[in-house]
Amino acid sequence: MEAADLAPAFTLADARASGLRKDQVYELLASGRIERVGRGVYLRADAIDPQFAALAAATAARSEATMCLISALAYHELTDEIPFGTDVALPRDLRHPAGFANVAWHSFDRKTFFEGREKLTLVPDTDIAVYSAERTIVDCFRLMHLEGSDLAYEALRRWLRRRGSSPSVLLQLANLFPKAEPRLRQALEVLL
């Protein structure tokens, strides 16, 4: 079996299920055909856009992994900030995978975790998830004490300038997050 036969992002368990022994995986690693991005998680060299490599690897380790906060704002072009790493959310009851160098892990409540979550197909057999622009704005207002108010307000301003943005849809989603809804309603009253 060759590296090209593996998924672009895979775990050691996935490689073993495909018929590779552990020593063969290490040979692929030593030859540079794959790279290690986390404990037991690998990427095929040049198989995935570098912007999504960390998220694809996180998804290989935990299928619930979802791009969030500053990384999602950058993806939706709602900020000029360049994230140092990839912000990845998991449900609060899941343990974060170890050994990921450029991933900032976040734990979100499982009751609302899947709200506003969108799937994207990077390459065949490799899907990732990103929170929608609306959900990301709500999260920025909800976590304003961590992310800063400037980030949340600027993202909201940019989103409101887009054609088709609907404040009522944003408020409907915000109703699921009691901390975010009053802050977001107040910001919308000022900006509109």
Domain boundaries, the chain: 133-192
* pLDDT recorded at residue 163: 93
pLDDT at 4 over 90: no
* pLDDT recorded at residue 116: 97
CB 62 within 8 A of CB 97: yes
φ/ψ of 79, rounded to 5, equals -150, 155
Which run of H or E residues covers position 130? strand 126-131
CB 34 within 8 A of CB 56: no
Distance, CA of 41 to CA of 25 (rounded, Å): 11
φ/ψ of 124, rounded to 5, equals -50, 135
pLDDT at 71 over 90: yes
Confidence of residue 12 (pLDDT cuts 50, 70, 90): very high
Strand partners, 86: 103
pLDDT at 127 over 80: yes
Confidence of residue 5 (pLDDT cuts 50, 70, 90): confident
Q: What is the mean pLDDT of residues 77-103?
A: 93
CA 74 to chain centre: 11
pLDDT at 1 over 70: no
Q: What tokens were used for 124?
A: 């065949």
Q: What tokens were used for 110?
A: 């499982």
* pLDDT recorded at residue 144: 93
DSSP alpha helix (H) spans, the chain: 12-17, 22-31, 50-61, 69-75, 110-113, 133-142, 144-147, 149-161, 167-174, 180-191
Residue bearing the bigger pLDDT, 124 or 86: 86
* pLDDT recorded at residue 100: 92
* Percentage of the residues of the chain whose pLDDT score is greater than 70: 98
* pLDDT recorded at residue 188: 95
Q: What tokens were used for 119?
A: 């799937």
Give this prediction's pTM: 0.91
Mean pLDDT score of the chain: 93
Q: What is the CA radius of gyration of the chain?
A: 19
